[in-house]
Amino acid sequence: TRYFVDHRKVRVIGGRGGEGGHSFYSEPRKVFGGPDGGNGGDGGHVILKADRQMKSLSSVLPFYQGSHGERGGRKNCYGANGAYVYVKVPVGTLVKEDGKVVADLTQHGEEYVAAYGGAGGKGNRFFLSNENRAPMLFTPGEPGQERVLHLELKTTAHAGLVGFPNAGKSSLLRAISRAKPAVAAYPFTTLNPHVGIVHYQDYEQVAVADIPGLIKGAHQNRGLGMAFLRHIERCCFLLYVVDLSVSQPWIQLQDLKYELEQYKKGLSERPCVVIGNKIDLTQSRINLPLLKEQIDERVIALSALTGDNLEELFSHLRELYDTYVKTEQA
């Protein structure tokens, strides 16, 4: 079974540096050749590396240590440096230490040195001077850096599908992309965020995330709670999915905005559009004009099941994306 993990506590220690060499050069007819102990090698770093193939923090272990450097050798030979240890993490991983964000890995291949290896020690050749022609002194390698880090995964997507359980978010994502989240008639079918890519004819791609369903009190950790509210933070604009077949569907929208605002101030004020799903049902057609009267946002009525009116959603989604790109460039 593959588990989705979006937070991890990791202890990382850099490799210890190798100690300096302690030797004197000697060969026939050159007995007092002087000190020739080389420096020790540096310890290896522990490096976090963002990889788009990784989808979860489940493969990240609780402890990593870099390789130790080797001791300096005879004839002024330096010890080998310790090998680096690379830890692959998903794109969108936040690295925190003592509650403060120290790194944000948002690009494929981006790296962050989690723990530096210790410097290698000096061999007795290093301490050769005119005053001391036969130094006996050499230094040990320094210990590697030790840290305790908290890794948090926040799904990176342009748009986030936000709604109550069974509003049809997963069905909508299946209809507009190649993503295949589970669809069933019971609440909390979606337990993990899913990201689908919407392709346009000019080869532009818009990433849409299916966030697990929210309920009243989600900001107080009810239901799936705050574990998945954090994934909405990364979305540039929001798609509120409302079930038109229920009575007073505008109350759903009010509750969703309230939960987002309680979790993080200003989150509900991001660019958005309201998607009225299940328009193929009779009750939904009755509720649609009532919903438009109650709210100020644009409403796109569609059916994820039958595919009715998906073209309007594709068009408006591209408008939101283009506006976001222009704002970022400005």
User: In the chain, where are the structural domains located?
Assistant: 1-154, 159-329
* Confidence band of 224 (pLDDT split at 50, 70, 90): low
Based on its alpha-carbon atoms, the radius of gyration of the chain, rounded to whole angstroms, reads 29
309-319 pLDDT, tens digit each: 888 888 888 88
Mean pLDDT of 33-53: 89
CA distance 227 to 156: 15
DSSP string, 93-121: EEEEETTEEEEEE-STT-EEEEEPPPPPP
pLDDT of residue 186: 43
Alpha-carbon distance of 115 to 99, in angstroms, equals 17
Mean pLDDT of 97-103: 89
Which residues are registered as beta bridge partners of 199? Answer: 205
What pLDDT, on a 0 to 100 scale, did the predictor assign at position 169?
79
Average pLDDT over residues 243-270: 83
Check: CATH 2.70.210.12 for 1-154? yes
Tokens of 157: 């997507």
1 pLDDT exceeds 50?
Answer: no
According to CATH, the superfamily of the domain at 159-329 is P-loop containing nucleotide triphosphate hydrolases (3.40.50.300)
With beta carbons less than 8 A apart as the criterion, state whether 273 and 239 touch.
yes
Mean pLDDT of 114-127: 90
* pLDDT class of 113 with cuts at 50, 70, 90: very high
Contact 318, 325 (CB under 8 A): no
Report the Cα 74 to chain-centroid distance in Å: 46
Backbone angles phi, psi at 25, to 5 degrees: -70, 135
Strands (E) across the chain are located at 7-13, 46-51, 63-65, 85-90, 93-97, 100-105, 111-115, 146-153, 159-163, 194-199, 205-210, 237-243, 272-277, 299-301
For 186, the token pair is 């019971």
Predicted TM-score (pTM) of the model is: 0.64
